[in-house]
Amino acid sequence: MCGIVGYLGNKSAKDVVIKGLKRLEYRGYDSAGISTLQNNKLEITKTQGKVSDLIAEISTGTHTGGLGIGHTRWATHGIPDNKNAHPHSDNSGKFTLVHNGIIENYQSLKQLLSDNGITCKTDTDTEVLVQFMGYLHQKEKLDFIDTVRLALNQVVGAYGIVVLCEDYPDMLIAARLGSPLLLGIGKDEFFVASDSSPIIEYTRNIIFLDEGELAVITQDQYEVRNLSGNEIVTKEIEEIEYNLDEIEKGGYDHFMLKEINEQAYTISEALRGRVNSEESTVTLGGIYDWIQQILDAKHIYITACGTSWHASLIGSYILEELLNIPVKAEYASEFRYRETAVNSDSVVICVSQSGETADTLAAIRKAREQGALTLGIVNVVGSSIARETHCGVYIHAGPEIGVASTKAFTGQVTIFNLIGILLAQKKGCNLEKIKPIIDDLDALPGLVQSVLDQGNEVFPIAEDFMDVENFLYLGRGYQFPVALEGALKLKEISYIHAEGYPAAEMKHGPIALIDDDMPVVFVVTARGYNKIVSNIQEVRARGGKIIIITSEENAELQEYSDHIIQVPDVSHCLQAVLTTIPLQMLAYHMAVLKGCDVDMPRNLAKSVTVE
Ligand code: AGP
CATH (one of 1.10.357.10, 3.40.50.720, 3.40.50.300, 3.40.50.10490) for 250-453: 3.40.50.10490
The answer to whether the CB of 403 is under 6 A from ligand 1 is yes
Class of residue 344 by CB neighbours under 10 A (exposed 0-12, middle 13-18, buried 19+): exposed
Residue whose C-alpha is closest to residue 553's, from 573, 535, 529, 537: 529
Beta bridge partner(s), residue 302: 329, 349
Distance 303 CA to ligand 1 centre (A): 12
Provide the mean pLDDT of the chain: 92
What pLDDT shows up at residue 526?
94
Q: What kind and span of H or E run contains 24? A: none
Q: What superfamily would CATH give domain 455-593?
A: Glucose-6-phosphate isomerase like protein; domain 1 (3.40.50.10490)
Atom of ligand 1 nearest to the CA of 405: 2
Assign 3-state DSSP to the chain and report helix, strand, coil percentages, each to 5: 40, 25, 35
**Omega of the bond leading into 519 within 30 degrees of 0 (cis):** no
CB neighbourhood size of 358 (10 A): 17
User: Do 364 and 350 meet the contact criterion of CB atoms below 8 Å apart?
Assistant: yes
Residues designated as active site: 2, 606
pLDDT tens-digit series, residues 469-521: 999 999 999 999 999 999 999 999 999 999 999 999 998 999 999 998 899 99
pLDDT of residue 179: 78
Q: Is the pLDDT of residue 570 over 60?
A: yes
- The model's pLDDT over 371-419, given as tens digits with 9 standing for 90+, comes to 999 999 999 876 778 888 999 999 998 878 888 999 999 999 999 999 9
Q: Is 360 in the pocket of ligand 1 (CB under 6 A)?
A: yes
**Ligand 1 binding pocket mutation candidate from 606, 607, 609 (most atoms within 8 A of CB):** 607
Res. 28: pLDDT tops 70: no
Comparing 78 with 283, the larger pLDDT belongs to: 283
Alpha-carbon Rg of the chain, whole angstroms? 26
> Is there a contact between 97 and 71 (Cβ–Cβ < 8 Å)?
no
Nearest protein CA to atom 5 of ligand 1, as residue: 306
| Same CATH fold assignment for domains 250-453 and 455-593 | yes
Entry pTM: 0.68
CA neighbor of 557 nearest in space, from 520, 529, 582? 529
585 C-alpha to ligand 1 centroid (Å): 18
Convert the pLDDT of each residue in 164-210 to its tens digit. Answer: 999 999 999 999 987 778 999 999 999 999 888 899 899 999 998 88
- The set of residues, in sequence order, having a beta carbon less than 8 Å from that of 524 and lying 6+ positions away, is 479, 532, 533, 536, 548, 549, 550, 551, 552, 557
Please report the atom of ligand 1 found closest to the CA of residue 307.
Answer: 8
Query: d(Cα 75, Cα 184) in Å, to the nearest integer?
Result: 26
Render pLDDT for 311-320 as a digit per residue (tens, 0 to 9): 999 999 999 9
Secondary structure of residue 473 in the 3-state scheme: strand
At 568, the amino acid letter reads P
Q: Is the model's pLDDT at 27 over the cut of 70?
A: no
Reported as a pLDDT band with limits 50, 70 and 90, residue 606 is: low
**Arch. (CATH architecture) of 3-240:** 4-Layer Sandwich (3.60)
Q: Would you say 330 and 581 are in contact if contact means Cβ atoms under 8 Å apart? A: no
Percentage of the chain surpassing pLDDT 70? 97
Domain locations in the chain as residue ranges: 3-240, 250-453, 455-593
- The answer to whether 302 and 419 have CB atoms below 8 angstroms apart is no
Instruction: Express each pLDDT in 325-376 by its tens digit.
Output: 999 999 999 999 999 999 999 999 999 998 888 899 999 999 999 999 999 9
> 118-127, 249-258, 467-476, 496-505: which has the minimum mean pLDDT?
249-258
Confidence grade of residue 248 (pLDDT, cut at 50, 70, 90): low
